[in-house]
Structures are given as C-alpha cells and as structure tokens.
Amino acid sequence: MQESWPKLVGAVPETLILASSSLAIGFVLAIIVALARLSSNRGLSNLAYGFVYIFRSTPLLVQIFLIYYGSGQFRPFLQEYGLWIFFREPWFCAILALTLNTGAYTSEIIRGGMQSVPWGQVEAARACGMSGVLLFRRIMFPVAIRQALPGYGNEIILMVKSTSLASTITILDVTGIAKKIIAATWSPIEIFIIAGAIYLTINFIVTRVVQWTEIKLSPQLYRDRKSVWKTLFGKDEDMEPARQTIR
C-alpha cells in the first residue's frame, strides 16, 4: 500500500495533461460547432447537428476504440498523407477521441448560453454600430460564458473522470498505473480506493476553481443567491429585513 501511493500520484500529471489538452482544444472546437449550429446556413447547421448527435449518442469508450484500433484498417491511406505517425500513437488517439467528445457536449452548453443572451442587448449593440465579430466578442460571448459556466464546470469534471478510459489503450494515467499495480499485487480494493481518492481530490479542486470563477464573473448573482437562501432557511433575525422588503 505504501509503495502504491507514490506510483499513483506520479501518474497524476499524465491524467491532467490528457484532460487539459482535450478541454483546451475541445473548447475551441465547441465554439466553432456552436456558431455553426446557430448559423442561418441550413447545410452548415445540419452538419454541426450531425456531429453533435453522433458524439453525444455513442459511448466514449467505443469512440476511443474506433479511432485507435479502427485507424489501422486505413493505414495505407493515412501513410500516404503522412497522418499515420499520429494515429499510431495512443496518446494522439486518446486526445483526439476526448477532444471530439467534449467538443460535442461543450458546443451545446455554449449554444445554450448564447441563446440565453437578452435580445435587447444584441439590438442595443447593433444600434451602436457594432459589427458581427465585435458583437460576438464584446456582448454575446462574455454573457454566454457566464451563463454556461456551471454546465461547463460539470463537463470539466466529467472529462477528468473520462480520462480513465484512456488506460484501455495502454496509456499509463492514474487508472492505467492502478491496473498495472493490481496485476502485480492482487489488491484491487485498496488500489482503486487510492485511485478514486486521487480523482476525488482533483475534482474537488476543479469545483472550487469553477465556483470562484463564477463568483468573480457574476458577483451580483452570488449575493442574490445568499439573500434568497437566508430568506428561505435563515434565522428569524436574519429574515426580518427581507420580510420588511416584501411588505
């Protein structure tokens, strides 16, 4: 048990690199797909919808296997265009699968955030003479991010946990190292408890960072939530100002 801790903790950077790389590239992809979904071009919108539907409706493990094992059937084609050097590496296949998966989910989160932008703000920006790009950069995107942040925080947590599936294609992340140790020690319960505690710690930090970011971006909403909470569940002396306001 004592020898397992350092090995599992030493695999944390692998897990974090997998998750952060996939989330960063997937976020850029998600913005493109979300804009395509909202496009007035019907063909472009349908293409984006098909991408989202496929990757949200199929298991991530199947997607990883298709990319890693399935690409071997197209080896001559991939070699012809110089792509086999990437597809033969499990790291690339894992990041590609995780990126496409999180890109599909995140695009719907961003699309929902964009659609929640008050139309009056859009009309006011257009009345000020803002171009489409400037309107998106200064009005729509900042507001959409504030609205989408709670949902995107959940996606980050899911992606951290999903990196464990990369161990099925020989990547030695936390889960991969745990499986390797179990094969040598035959102590699955203790090892998986330690691995689970590591994922729990990572996701606890993620939730705190997302919550801090949410408060910084929308402090007024946080104050409103606290006042509502006190009104519903606070003590009598705490509720009196709210009652006076209601009266």
Q: What is the pLDDT of residue 89?
A: 92
Q: What is the pLDDT of residue 242?
A: 45
Give the percent of the chain with pLDDT over 70.
88
Q: Where are the domains of the chain?
A: 4-246
The answer for 129, left when phi > 0, alpha when psi is -120 to 50, beta otherwise, is left
In the predicted model, is pLDDT for residue 220 greater than 80?
Answer: no
First to last CA, the chain: 63
Question: Using 50, 70 and 90 to split pLDDT, how confident is the model at 223?
Answer: low
Task: Say which residues have a Cβ less than 8 Å from residue 19's Cβ, sequence separation at least 6.
Answer: 98, 156, 159, 160, 163
Question: Using 50, 70 and 90 to split pLDDT, how confident is the model at 247?
Answer: very low
Among 37-46, 101-110, 134-143, 207-216, whose mean pLDDT is lowest? 134-143
What is the DSSP secondary structure assignment for residue 41, as one 8-state letter?
Answer: -
CA 95 to chain centre: 13
Contact 53, 132 (CB under 8 A): no
d(C-alpha 185, C-alpha 137), whole Å: 54
In the predicted model, is pLDDT for residue 173 greater than 50?
Answer: yes
Contact 44, 36 (CB under 8 A): yes
Residue closest to 93 by CA, chosen among 166, 149, 13, 177: 166
CATH 2.30.38.10 fits 4-246, yes or no: no
d(C-alpha 164, C-alpha 15), whole Å: 8
Q: What is the pLDDT of residue 138?
A: 81
d(C-alpha 93, C-alpha 22), whole Å: 11
- H/E stretch holding 208 reads helix 188-217
d(C-alpha 146, C-alpha 198), whole Å: 29
Angle between the N-to-C axes of helices 141-162 and 188-217, in degrees from 0 to 180, rounded to the nearest 10? 170
Residue type, 118: P
Residue with tokens 């094969």: 183
